[in-house]
Amino acid sequence: MSYSDINIYKEQLEDEVLHLKQEIFKLKKECEELKSRGNISEKERLFESMFKEAGIGIGIIDKDLKIRKYNKSFHDLFGYNPDDLSNKTYLDLIPESNGENAKKIIQDMFDSKLDKHVTEAVYLTKNQNKIWLKLVATVIKDKHGNPVFILGMGEDITEWVESRNKLEVAKLKAEESDKLKSAFLTNMSHEIRTPLNAIIGFSELIAESTTDQQTRKEFAEQVSESSNMLLKLIDDIIDMAQLDSGNLKINNRKFNISKILNELYEQFAKEQSRNKKNVELLLHNPFGDSIAYIETDEFRFNQVFNHLLNNALKYTHKGFIEFGFDINQHDEPIFYVRDTGIGIPEEKLDTIFNHFTKIEDRTTLYRGTGIGLTITKRLVNLLGGNIWVESNLGIGSIFYFSLPNKVTFLEIGNKNSQKTTYNWVGKKVLIAEDEVSNYEVIKASLVRTHVCLDWVRNGEDAVEKCLKIDYDLVLMDIKMPVLDGIEATKKIKAFKPHLPIIAQSAFILKNERDICIDAGCNEYIPKPIKSYALLEMIEKFFINSK
């Protein structure tokens, strides 16, 4: 239903209500005139007939708000049987929150402060369903001019109100979309012009006869860099268009994850050494020298990592960027890109994958179109996986994505490789971790060691478990509800000072390791947890306890 249809419908309702009101008052006046002549029976019958058969609900209430008279349309409107309304008041027909305001308006009408009241309001049916009525209320007076009743005429406009609200929401969404598109086009114009200006400018300088060979080489590198930047931008726009139209195809095949990750490392290491010398680039492959295979779209897989690593490099000015994967209990990889960048405000975590969303701070203007993470999310979903983010403002972010494809691998003999098998039969380990996904990753790393595992989701439960059970080791998450890992560690160490506790945390503050050790933790391991590092660390504690 369009706005014009709604307005026509509204006008028709108002005309019908007005006409009915005029007829009722006309009959009322005629009845009063006939009454004075002692001959009202015919007009009364006409009035009663019109009252009963009117197509809109009509009701009359007294000063006590009791419903004294009503027609068939009235009790049909509210879903009552005729007898059900005999003990009802006007307040039974409206939401409790509107009661005080309704009583004030009714009192003003009985006090002759108002002769008429017109409104659109919510009413309640017998089943407590909400309906919208167009209400016209007028005062009925006795022969002395004193208000004795209020006559109300109500027309059901629920459908019209719902249509109007839907149109309003659609209008707001359209306006917001227009604003976003305008901002996107403005930003896109800037993003395209920036590399184009560099390409045109440096090309002209290269062509000048006075430019020496070394300078020309430097200018050519700038042209090449700007051309690649422009090409990436065009690729993003094309990908976005293909995703929106549903024409982007996925071509699955088995490929070597380790090879792709190593190539990504080499690619971004060059950019890091050129533009971000204060940032260390790290690669984590839990299979080490093994060749790991996965079956998915190699090009799109590479593209997802490119987007995430580009973002990490853009927003990280010091510290490190780490990327790679770990394996969950189903032999499925959990890929990640972790950085110590500016982080994401909490209020933007839910919208970070939306179109045209960008993270800014007050001191730096970050380039970009605002569609990179949107493309990334939609590509991961097309590959059958999920993507999510954890972030602390000013500390850093971790972007995870999962794929439903199991990893297979081929061992390459290496006498210097790390120990890969552990047997901890009889050992008991408590995992204190509130996030299910993090627990599953740790469990996947430990389940092959035959260790006995218990799991709690907050620090208070960890303390209670340690009081009742003699564990050989505790893995303690730092950030947990009810009682955090630091306070839980202090309490556990108070009654079990020799119990090894390894602290684990997704975000590294400058002195976070020291805080954990000072609280009584024996070791500290950052998230994402590297399987081999965790196993080696636990093995050391178990060897020392023998």
User: How many Cβ atoms sit within 10 Å of the Cβ of residue 305?
Assistant: 22
User: How many Cβ atoms sit within 10 Å of the Cβ of residue 496?
Assistant: 16
Write the CB contacts of 35 (distance below 8 Å, at least 6 apart in sequence). none
Instruction: Return phi, psi of residue 453, to 5°.
Output: -115, 140
Most confident of 49-63, 144-158, 241-255: 144-158
Write the CB contacts of 45 (distance below 8 Å, at least 6 apart in sequence). none
**For the chain, what is the mean pLDDT?**
81
> pLDDT, tens digit, for every residue of 73-97?
887 888 888 777 778 888 888 898 8
Of 254-258, 390-394, 417-421, 439-443, the one with minimum mean pLDDT is 417-421
The more confident residue out of 288 and 59 is: 59
Rounded to 5°, angle at Cα 477 from 474 and 480: 125
pTM value > 0.85: no
Structural domains of the chain, ranges and CATH numbers in brackets: 3-156 (3.30.450.20), 177-245 (1.10.287.130), 253-410 (3.30.565.10), 428-544 (3.40.50.2300)
- Cα distances from 506 to residues 351, 435, 474, in angstroms, run 21, 11, 17
Supply 546's token pair.
């023998």
Quick check: 424 and 473 in contact, CB under 8 A? no
* Structure confidence at residue 18 as a pLDDT band (50, 70, 90): low
pLDDT at residue 25, rounded to an integer: 67
pLDDT at residue 543, rounded to an integer: 84
Sheet holding 279-284, edge to edge: 279-284, 319-327, 333-339, 396-402, 386-392
Supply 169's token pair.
């929401």
| Cα gap 82→80, rounded to integer Å | 6
Beta bridge partners of 453: 429
Residue ranges with strand state E in 173-278: 253-256
| Cα gap 156→162, rounded to integer Å | 12
| Cα gap 304→493, rounded to integer Å | 44
Quick check: 276 and 313 in contact, CB under 8 A? yes
Of 20-34, 95-109, 129-143, 426-440, the one with minimum mean pLDDT is 20-34
- Using CB atoms within 10 Å of the CB of residue 339, give its burial: 0 to 12 exposed, 13 to 18 middle, 19+ buried: buried
Quick check: 330 and 406 in contact, CB under 8 A? yes
| Cα gap 38→209, rounded to integer Å | 117
pLDDT at residue 439, rounded to an integer: 87
Instruction: Return phi, psi of residue 150, to 5°.
Output: -120, 125
**pLDDT above 50 (res 413):** no
- Cα distances from 519 to residues 236, 329, 487, 491, 529, in angstroms, run 48, 31, 8, 9, 21
**Any idea what DSSP says for residue 81?**
-
Q: Which helix (H) or strand (E) holds 199?
A: helix 158-207
* Structure confidence at residue 503 as a pLDDT band (50, 70, 90): very high
> pLDDT, tens digit, for every residue of 307-356?
899 889 888 888 899 999 887 766 678 899 999 988 888 888 887 887 65
Q: Is 231 left (phi over 0), alpha (psi -120 to 50) or beta?
A: alpha
